[in-house]
Amino acid sequence: MSWRVAAALLVSPVVVSLGMVLTTIPSSGSLEDQAFEVLFAALVFYVYPLFFALILALSLYLLLNHFGFVNWWVSLCAGLLIGVAGAATQFNQGLWFTGRLVLLGGIAGLIFWRIVNTYRPPKATW
């Protein structure tokens, strides 16, 4: 496993945690309290998508990389599928919560693909 895969596994859940926290209305009144509440909630919520990234995303990546199927649309579908799995664990949260998890899972899948597949120099032909 390369350092890019490890970095992608740690960065892509940040998208889900920040997206979930920033689309939620903070409850406190002052701006300082809201900033602290957003950062604290993002840190706490980071553990939830990190679990799915380490369990599901890593195993899917290893399987798909073995067969050479790591491209943007497969990563998008895998992220959406992992988002559905994450939303399925949350009972009675409503359609808004479920839709956000699925959509942010897809975006995290695209970010994972972008980090893993950065520029690679062409192989020598001689």
Residue 44, pLDDT above cutoff 70: yes
Span of 2-11, 17-26, 48-57 with lowest mean pLDDT: 17-26
**pLDDT, tens digit, for every residue of 81-119?**
999 988 888 877 788 788 888 999 999 999 999 998 876
> Which residues contact residue 8 at a Cβ distance below 8 angstroms, ignoring those fewer than 6 apart?
111, 112, 115, 116
pTM: 0.81
> Which residues contact residue 72 at a Cβ distance below 8 angstroms, ignoring those fewer than 6 apart?
110, 113
Mean pLDDT of 61-71: 88
